């Protein structure tokens, strides 16, 4: 069998604590420091613990040249070779894991970006419960535990040295910005009209036209900017309460301004998925519509191949789209939110996404704000909620 090393592997020296009963018997606390290596490998979507001998062998193996198994064993111990193969860092030619690794390479990921993307994805996390535990553990007093935060502004000149600018006249856009308040209280008794739903979707996510930038290279013109004009981020929807649209999972077609049904859901199934998507943040679960911002990495990396700024540009696209959605919703008297605290792996499974080619980076949503404020909302201007 011919073998080679995996394409991307990031090695991190790490210190961890392990329990040792003998140390406890000897009168210690039973804990000892263990130094070791951790391999972060996007093609595996997990961390792998390695010994120093395994790290040494990895560094001597090529990620592109296939070599005979016996030849590798002659240079490194059979045990090390067997362990690396079992941990899927040494790949057998023609294997499923080798095909997965080749797909990662052929998507033109920048290695550091691929490692960061995969290392930051969640599955089964309940952020609300985690925050509750922190609050209980720290007694609710984070300031005394963490100290004061950085100042709200980093100042570089004395007040009398600043060049004061004229105040702009108030406009409709100012009013819209003032009313843009992240919603944590959605109205369960009412549904969005189909017209409201359609308008917000189109203004934030819809394409105004398709333009042939070059032969075989069509680009979309949207209401937001995008790196290279590629508009690689698309909307995958979890609909709960919209007139004329059954609860379920959908994909939005930005050119046809249409929904593509993926899976129908009962109301309780939709609510359970919503909670899973936003990692248990209960104040977002009741949103009438959740939109998962899914970036198509393969389309972006088609132009920006192994590019140091490609992944950063994708994350900027999410900000443009979410702000457009906030303003489109606010203009109609609706409310919106965005969160990056999401269970990416669970979302990928729900929509059938391959994270090598496309994956969620945030969940946004919108709907009708409740008449009563049950959860705290950041509204220092009292634009939405009257001062109490």
Residues 71 and 193 grouped into a single domain: no
Residues 87 and 182 grouped into a single domain: no
Which residue, of 52, 84, 106, is where some domain finishes?
Answer: 106
Q: Provide the pLDDT for residue 140.
A: 58
Q: Provide the pLDDT for residue 245.
A: 98
Helix (H), strand (E) at residue 222: strand 217-222
Q: Provide the pLDDT for residue 138.
A: 55
Q: Provide the pLDDT for residue 32.
A: 72
Contact 38, 64 (CB under 8 A): no
Residues 77 and 183 grouped into a single domain: no
Give exposure, 22-41, as e/b (b: 16+ Cβ within 10 Å).
eeeeeeeeeeeeeeebebbb
153 is a domain residue: no
Residue 340 belongs to what domain range?
173-367
Q: Provide the pLDDT for residue 147.
A: 86
Tell me which residue of 363, 377, 382, 219 sits closest to 294, measured CA to CA.
363
pTM for the predicted model, two decimal places = 0.90
Residues 224 and 87 grouped into a single domain: no
SS3 assignment, position 160:
helix
What CATH code is carried by the domain that includes residue 274?
3.40.109.10
Residues 83 and 201 grouped into a single domain: no
64 is a domain residue: yes
162 is a domain residue: no
For every one of its 388 residues, what pLDDT tens digit does the chain have, with 9 covering 90 and above? 899 999 999 999 988 777 777 777 777 777 777 788 999 999 998 899 999 999 999 999 999 999 999 999 999 999 999 999 999 999 999 999 999 999 999 999 999 999 999 999 999 999 877 766 666 655 556 677 778 889 999 999 999 999 999 999 999 999 999 999 999 999 999 999 999 999 999 999 999 999 888 888 899 999 999 999 999 999 999 999 999 999 999 999 999 999 999 999 999 999 999 999 999 999 999 999 999 999 999 999 999 999 999 999 999 999 999 999 999 999 999 999 999 999 999 999 999 999 999 999 999 999 999 999 999 999 999 999 988 6
Residues 79 and 205 grouped into a single domain: no
Residues 65 and 192 grouped into a single domain: no
Tell me which residue of 249, 323, 333, 253 sits closest to 292, measured CA to CA.
249
Which residue, of 106, 130, 154, is where some domain finishes?
Answer: 106
Residues 205 and 354 grouped into a single domain: yes
138 is a domain residue: no
Alpha helices, H only, 152-193: 172-179
Residues 187 and 102 grouped into a single domain: no
Q: Residue 34 has what DSSP assignment?
A: E
Residues 324 and 206 grouped into a single domain: yes
Number of domains comprising the chain: 2
61 is a domain residue: yes
164 is a domain residue: no
237 is a domain residue: yes
Which residue, of 52, 79, 106, is where some domain finishes?
Answer: 106
Residues 319 and 180 grouped into a single domain: yes
Alpha helices, H only, the chain: 21-25, 52-59, 69-75, 78-86, 96-106, 111-119, 127-137, 142-146, 172-179, 194-205, 267-277, 282-285, 297-303, 310-331, 344-351
101 is a domain residue: yes
Residues 99 and 208 grouped into a single domain: no
Q: Provide the pLDDT for residue 271.
A: 98
* Cβ-based burial of 120 (10 A; exposed 0-12, middle 13-18, buried ≥19): exposed
How many alpha carbons lie under 13 Å from residue 212 in its C-beta half-sphere? 3
């Amino acid at each position: 069998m011919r073998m080679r090393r995996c394409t991307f592997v990031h090695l991190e020296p790490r210190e961890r604590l392990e329990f040792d009963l003998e140390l406890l018997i000897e009168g210690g606390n039973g804990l000892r420091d263990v130094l070791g290596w951790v391999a972060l490998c996007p093609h595996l979507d997990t961390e792998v613990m390695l010994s120093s001998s395994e790290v040494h062998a990895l560094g001597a193996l090529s990620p592109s040249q296939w070599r005979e198994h016996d030849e590798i064993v002659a240079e490194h111990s059979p045990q090390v070779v067997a362990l690396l193969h079992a941990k899927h860092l040494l790949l057998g030619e023609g294997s499923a894991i080798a095909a997965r690794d080749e797909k990662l390479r052929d998507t033109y990921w920048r290695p550091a970006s691929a490692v960061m993307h995969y290392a930051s994805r969640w599955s089964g996390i309940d952020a609300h419960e985690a925050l509750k535990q922190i609050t209980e553990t720290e007694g609710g007093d984070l300031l005394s535990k963490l100290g004061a935060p950085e100042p709200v502004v980093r100042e570089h000149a004395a007040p009398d040295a600043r060049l004061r600018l004229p105040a702009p006249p108030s406009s409709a856009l100012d009013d819209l910005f003032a009313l843009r308040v992240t919603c944590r209280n959605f109205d369960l008794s009412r549904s969005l009209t189909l017209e409201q739903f359609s308008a917000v979707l189109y203004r934030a996510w819809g394409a105004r036209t398709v333009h042939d930038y070059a032969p075989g290279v069509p680009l979309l013109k949207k209401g937001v900017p995008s790196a290279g004009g590629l508009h690689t981020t698309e909307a995958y929807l979890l609909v709960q309460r919209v007139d004329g649209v059954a609860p379920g999972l959908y994909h939005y077609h930005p050119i046809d301004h249409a929904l593509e049904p993926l899976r129908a859901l009962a109301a309780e199934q939709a609510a359970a998925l919503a909670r899973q998507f936003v990692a248990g943040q209960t104040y977002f679960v009741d949103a009438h519509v959740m939109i998962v911002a899914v970036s198509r990495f393969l389309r972006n990396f088609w132009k920006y191949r192994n590019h140091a700024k490609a992944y950063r540009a994708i994350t900027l696209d999410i900000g443009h789209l979410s702000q457009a959605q906030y303003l489109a919703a606010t203009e109609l008297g609706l409310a919106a939110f965005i969160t990056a605290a999401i269970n990416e792996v669970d979302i990928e499974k729900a929509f059938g996404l391959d994270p090598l080619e496309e994956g969620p980076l945030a969940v946004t949503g919108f709907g009708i704000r409740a008449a009563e404020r049950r959860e705290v909302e950041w509204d220092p201007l009292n634009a939405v909620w009257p001062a109490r």
